[in-house]
Amino acid sequence: MNTRIEHDTMGEVAVPAERHWGAQTQRSLENFKIGGQRQPREIIAAFAYLKEACARANAAAGKLTEEQAAAVAAVCEEIRAGKWEEEFPLVVWQTGSGTQTNMNVNEVIAHLTGERGVRLHPNDHVNASQSSNDTYPSALHIAAALAVERQVLPAAERLAGAFRSLEEAYPDLIRIGRTHLQDATPLKFAQEVSGWRELVEAPCRMLRASLEELGRLAIGGTAVGTGLNAPRGYDEAVCGELRRLTGFPFRPDGNKFHALTSKDALVFAHGALKALAANLMKIANDIRWEASGPRCGMGELRIPENEPGSSIMPGKVNPTQCEAVTMAAVQVMGNDAAIGFAASQGNFQLNVFLPVSAYNFLLSANLLADAMDSFRTRCVEGIVPDAEKMGENLNSSLMLVTCLTPKIGYERAAACAKKALHEGTTLKEAVLALGLLTAEEFDETVRPEKMV
């Protein structure tokens, strides 16, 4: 392998000749051969937004020339477009402040601008007015906010829309309800689906609320929150550039000592992701239970048949999209534990669990967005209720007795239900055998359409 020699304050390092990173990136690559999980691409894109904004703010403050800032901006735009993905090889499991990733970005930008005739030093120019201690937390918030706004919320809105369409398609279909996994009183199928829709929409409101706090950035705090080496007003200037670049209302955190050491905003936002995951688990379980069968289960829903379900049982088809959603939900719940533990470890002026927090948050966001789109297109949009099976279960349910309580009282109604259950008769037969109502009175009273 052809190499070139790069240097940093610790000495010289051989770097692959074709790569644009420098000595500090190479040291990290060699010192942290752990796991293999690379820094999320969303973090690198967030750094590219941040470095461009910082360069523009530094130019306005007289710390960089307009030519230098423009060169940084041009490279950052290419990084965000994915042109240089192989130049960012560092793993999650590195220094807890993400220093090496910050320097990886600085070195790549400096080398690429140098190839274009603008010589920049990764620390003195690209990292001017910054520290890894305020850039990585800021990039983390940028990546998290944009992932929620651009990935999770749109996917959730599409899924909620699919449920709304299902509601509207079957406005009058009545089915038996179930509580404690036992028969309950009737409801409309559309009412049940409206509950599924709200299970998606409610966490979306929580996620939108979390964006307020994710929009607060640590940038300008530099090493410990004092803003050492950053010009006055630098934090607002950077956030102004970020607002222009992303369209998101980023603003400086008013207390940089909080911003550098606390990850409470991330915990809050991921809590909303966990709430969404929990609700998706419930929806997917409902659907796969109600679609169970085809002949020996509930069988009240028909869902798309996407692939063979067994290597030994011919003709078997399984609710695989539901299973994928529930697995993703389990992973998100595990990620939430990791983020909570990581956030609790902000010692003194810095939290040093930043890369693992970023990795888990962005994994959750990606999983949920992808799972919701897959679930929607390959399951929800193809759901067809089996009206005949729903009607059969509805009419055989003993919990229709509930509507008799105002006429014959709770205890007599319970006696009717128990008699029918123990003797294997219909509810109507039990009521008539006990002489509590006439057939006409029963038919007039027990009408499911009046119970919903």
Q: Where are the beta strands (DSSP E) in 64-147?
A: none
pLDDT tens digits, 98-145? 999 999 999 999 999 999 999 999 999 999 999 999 999 999 999 999
Calculate the CA 299 to chain-centre distance.
Answer: 31
* Full DSSP string of 281-329: HHHHHHHHHHT--SSSS---EE----S---SSSTT----HHHHHHHHHH
Q: Provide the pLDDT for residue 377.
A: 98
Q: Provide the pLDDT for residue 248.
A: 98
Task: Tell me if residue 180 is catalytic.
Answer: yes
Helical (H) or strand (E) element with 13: strand 11-16
pLDDT tens digits, 362-407? 999 999 999 999 999 999 999 999 999 999 999 999 999 999 999 9
Quickly tell me which residue has 């990292």 as its tokens: 127
Show the CA angle centred on residue 360, arms to residues 358 and 365, nearest 5°: 95
Q: What are the distances in angstroms from CA 112 to CA 4, 52, 76, 122, 126?
A: 15, 14, 10, 11, 12
Averaged confidence pLDDT in the chain: 97
Say if residues 269 and 146 touch (Cβ distance below 8 Å).
Answer: no
Q: Is 0.85 surpassed by the pTM of this model?
A: yes
3-state DSSP assignment of residue 384: strand
Peptide bond into 304 cis (omega under 30): no
Task: Tell me if residue 132 is catalytic.
Answer: no
Amino acid at 83: K
Cβ neighbours of residue 50 closer than 8 Å, sequence gap 6 or more: 135, 138, 139, 142, 219, 238, 242
Dihedral over alpha carbons 125, 128, 132, 137 (to 10 degrees): -120
pLDDT greater at residue 1 or residue 73: 73
Q: Provide the pLDDT for residue 60.
A: 98
Q: Is the confidence at residue 1, as pLDDT, over 90?
A: no
pLDDT tens digits, 290-326? 999 999 999 999 999 999 999 999 999 999 999 999 9
pLDDT tens digits, 208-226? 999 999 999 999 999 999 9
Band of residue 191 on the pLDDT scale cut at 50, 70, 90? very high
pLDDT tens digits, 6-39? 999 999 999 999 999 999 999 999 999 999 999 9
Q: Is the confidence at residue 412, as pLDDT, over 90?
A: yes
Nearest in space to 100 (alpha carbons), one of 110, 85, 90? 90
Gap between the Cα atoms of 178 and 283, Å rounded: 14
Q: Provide the pLDDT for residue 390.
A: 97
Among the options 180, 258, 262, 364, which is catalytic? 180
Cβ neighbours of residue 392 closer than 8 Å, sequence gap 6 or more: none
Among the options 121, 165, 310, 396, which is catalytic? 310
Quickly tell me which residue has 């998100």 as its tokens: 332
| pLDDT-above-70 percentage for the chain | 100
